[in-house]
A and B are shown apart, each in its own frame.
Chain A
Amino acid sequence: MTDLIKYTAADTAAAIASGQVSAVEVAQAHLDRIDAVDKKVNAFLHVDTEGALAAARAVDAKRAKGEELGPLAGVPLALKDVFTTQGIPTTCGSKILEGWVPPYDATLTSRLKDAGVVILGKTNMDEFAMGSSTENSAYGVTGNPWDLSRIPGGSGGGSAAALAAYEAPLAIGTDTGGSIRQPGAVTGTVGVKPTYGSVSRYGLIAFSSSLDQGGPCARTVLDAALLHEAIAGHDPLDSTSIDAPVPAVVAAAKLRDVRGMRIGVVKEFAGEGYQAGVMQRFNESVELLRELGAEVVEVSCPSFTLALPAYYLIAPSEASSNLARFDAMRYGLRVGDDGTRSAEDVTALTREAGFGPEVKRRIILGTYALSSGYYDAYYGSAQKVRTLISRDFDAAFAGVDVLISPTTPTTAFPIGERADDPMAMYLADLCTIPSNLAGNAAMSLPCGLAPEDNLPVGLQIIAPAMADDRLYRVGGAVEAALNDKWGHPLLEEAPAL
C-alpha cells in the first residue's frame, strides 16, 4: 500500500473510480505517511484526520451508489493555510490568528469539496505569505525533502514540501510574487500561478489583493491541470474574478507537442546572481525545446529590472491596509485586555505580540509608501512601473507564444542563510514577480538537478493572461521529454526520508 502515496492524482482518481482501491484507503495511506514523516518535514500546521476520512467515505459511498465521480474524486490534497476552511483552524502562519476557526469556506475550498477532493489538512507558510523560505512562519520552518537543512521555498513551502515528501499528490498554493513557483522550483515539483482573476480570491486571506492568486501544485503537469480545472472559473463573490471560460488546460497538458510554437528567452533573467548549475539546466531546456520543434528566440523586457522594487512598494502598501483588520476586536489573538486598558492599547499590544518581524517590516514599509506626500513618489511610481512591465510583456507576446526563464536564480539555500538579509531573500523572486505585476499566467516545472549541489532547478514558462493552456502544452511536452531522458520522474532521485 505504500505505493499509493506515489500515485499521481490522475492515477489515484482512476484507481478509485475503477474500484481498485477505496478513497478511504488512499486517505489513510497519506495520513500514515504524514504521521511517519511530517515531524521531520513540518509541512502541515493542522492535519484534519476526521474530516479527510469523512470526505473519503463520502466518495466511496457515492461510488457504491453508482454515481459518477469527478476527475479528482477521492484524491488527497494539502491546502495552504491561507484559505479559510469552515470549522478547521486557519492561521496564515501567524500567531495573530492562532485558534481562529473560520465560520465559512473559501470559494476554492468549496470547489475542492464539491469535486470530492479529500483535504488532508492545512500547510505551513511564511506568515501572511510574506517570504520565500517558510522561515517567517510563526510555527517553525518547513524542511525541503531533498535536504531537510534547506528551505522548501516560500511562502508556500509547506504545500511544495508535502508533495515532494509524498504526503499528498496535490496541493494548493497562492502566488503573490512567486510563492507557488519558487517552492515548486526548489522542491522539484510543478506549480502554476494562473491568470490573475481566474481562481477566486474569496476566502483567500489577503496579502496583496492586486497580486494574490491561488493555484495548483502537483508532482506532474497533468495533475496540476486537473486541479487547475477544478478550482478555476468565475465567482460572483470576487469582483476581480474573470467571467470567461477556463482555458482547456487538461487537454493542453495531454498534447505533448510544441512543434511550431514560438518561445522567447527573456534576456534580462541571466547574469550576476544566477547559479551556474541553474543556468546550465535552463540552457539545456532551451535546447530541448528546439529539438522538440519549437522556435526559440531571445526577447528583451527592459522594465523587468524595475519589477522587484515596484513589487516591494505595491505589495507592502496593500498589505498594510489588508492587515489592519487584525485588531483583537472580533477574532484571533487578544493581548492585554485586563480591564485597565483602552481598546486602542489592546489593539497595539496584540499587533506587537501577534505579528512577526517580516510582517511588521512590510506593514511599516507600506504605511510609509502610502503616506501623504510620499504616495506619488512610491506607490504612484510603482504603479507606473507596473504599466511598463505589462507593456514589455505585450510587446514580447506579440512575437512569441510563451516566455521562458529559470524560475529562481538559485537552488534551495540553507535554512538561516538569508534569514537576516531581507534583500538577499527578496532576490529569490526576481524572475517570478513580473508575472504577478502584469497578472498573466506562469508555471514552474522541474528541469533537472544543478550539478554542483544535486538540488532541483525550476523552468519557468510564462503565457499571456487567459492563455494558461499554453503553459500546460509546453510544460507537458518538456516533462515528457525529460522523463524519457531520465527514465523516471526527477523526484525519484530525492533521498528517502
Chain B
Amino acid sequence: MEHPDEHDRRGTGEGEHVPEPPDREPDDEATQRYLDLIRSVHDEWTTLEAEGDSSVQLSATALSTIKEAVRADFRHGAHVEMPPTAAGPYTLSEMALRTVVRDAVDSVPGVIALRTAFDHGLPEGGHRVRGVPHRVRCRISVSVDARHLTGVADAVRAAVLAELREHLALTDLRVDIHIEDLHDD
C-alpha cells in the first residue's frame, strides 16, 4: 500500500520545498522500516482494541470516570441562575429548584406536587446554564375532599411565590397551577 505522502517525496513540484535527505540508497531502507513501524503500530492497535486490550486505549477506570461525571452532571440538570446574594453569585441545579417548589406545593393541605417546569430568561452564559426563571408551571394532584378548587390553586400559588421569595429572593414570577389529578387523602 503506497504511503499517502510517497508522491510528495518524489516531488510534485508545488507547495513548500520538502528537504530531501542527501543519501538515497540507505534511506530507502530506513524509509521502509519507518513505514513498517507506522503500519505495525496501526495493526497492533486495531487488533488490541478489538480484543478490548486497554494498552492501546483508555483504562476501564478512566472510561467510567468520564461517563460518571457526565451522568452526574445530567442528573443534576442544568444550573439555573439566581439573583445574586449580597456576597456573590450563585446557581441552583434544576433538580434543587424543583425540590424547593415541590416542598412549597406539598405544604398546602390536600395537595401533592407532581411535575414542575420553568421558563427562563436569558442566561449570562456558561456550561448548561439557564437564566433566572420568570414562570413556573406546577402540575398537582388535589384531594377528592377539596371543596373549592380555585381556592386550592390560589393557596398553592401563594405558597410557591412565598417560598421562592424567601429562599431565593425570586420575585416577579408568574405561577401557573394545573390540577391534573385527584387523590384520596
A and B held together in a complex: no
Chain A: residues with CB nearer than 8 A to chain B? none
Chain B: residues with CB nearer than 8 A to chain A? none
